[in-house]
Structure 1
Amino acid sequence: MIIWLNGTHGVGKSTTSLRVQQLVPDSRVFDAEKVGETLMDIKPGLPATDNFQHWPPWRPLVIETARRILDYTGGVLVMPMTVLTEAYWDEISGGLAEHGIPVKHFVLHADEASLRQRIMDDAIMGPSTFRLSHLQTYVDAAETWLHAAGEVVDTSGIGAADTARRVVDALGGA
C-alpha cells in the first residue's frame, strides 16, 4: 500500500511523512522528488521546464520505482509529494492501480496565513519564493479536483505529530 501525502509546498508533507512512518509498522518513506532530481541531473539537460513533473518520464518512473520498492520490501510506502495537475495524478494513481497497489491519498491543507508563516519560518529551507509562488496553483487545484480526489487533513494550527496521527487514524483498518 501507498500512503500518499499531497498538498502545497510548505504544508508539512515531508515532516509529516517521517512521523507517519514511525506510526505505521513495516513502512518506508519514498520521496518521489528524488526521481525528479535524477532527471534534473541528466547532461545535457532535458528540455527546459519550471517543474520536473512536466517531463513525460517522471510520472512512469515514479510508478515503476514505487512498484519495485514494494516488490522488494513489501509493507507500506509513505510518499510525500505535491501533485497539483489532475492529469498527472490520474496517470500516477492509475498506473499504481494497474499494478494492484492500493493508494490512500491524503491532502494536507492549511489556511493561507498558516502556510505563509510556515514557509517564511522554515528552519531548513528558509523563506522560499518558489513555495509562495505556488500557493495559487494549490488553491486552484483544491477548488477544482484535488480535495475531491483525496482525504483532506486540515493542518492549520497543529504540528506534524498531530497531523501524522490524523492520517494514521484515518487509515482505519487499511
Structure 2
Amino acid sequence: MAQAFPNSRFVGYDFHMGSVAAAKAHAEAHGLTNVQFEVGRAQDFDGRDFDLITCFDSLHDMGDPKAAASHIRKALKDGGTWMVVEPIAGDTLEENINPVRRLYYSASTMICVPTSLAQETGLALGAQAGERRLTEVIRSGGFTHIRRAAQSSLNMVLEAT
C-alpha cells in the first residue's frame, strides 16, 4: 500500500516485536519512507485521526476484539473507515462444512484460538466466526454502519463507519 500510494502515510502496529522488526526491514529494503511500524496492541496503540484503519486476518486472533473495535473507532477521524478482512464463513456450523472451511477450523484450533486465549480476555472468536458474530463485535465498538464490501472464495471484507 505504501508503494502504491506514495503521497499517503502508513503506520503498522503489531503486538509481536519480531514481526515489527521484519516489517521495518522489509520497508527499508524497498526504500519506503512513508511507512513506520510500532509495537502496539489493537486495543491501545498510539495514534489518532486516521482516515482508514485496516485489519487483515487478525480480528479473530485478538484476545479482546471488542476493546480493539472501541479503540479503533476512537482512533479514526470523523468520516473514517475501518476495513476488516477475515476468513469467509457462514454463521452456522452447517454452512461451514466444505473442504476449505474444514481446513480453517483445523488451523483455527491450532493457531487462532490459542493465540486469543493467551491474551487478556481471550474471546477466542476463531477463523470461522462468521459475519454475524464479527458484526456484533464491530458494532460493540461504536460503529453504526457495517457492510460486506467485497468477498472472494476465501475472505470477506467488512467496511465499518
Shorter-chain TM-score bucket reads: 0.3 to 0.5
Relative contact order higher in (CA < 8 Å, ≥ 6 apart): 1
* TM-score under structure 2 length normalisation: 0.40
More helix by percentage: 1
* TM-score under structure 1 length normalisation: 0.38
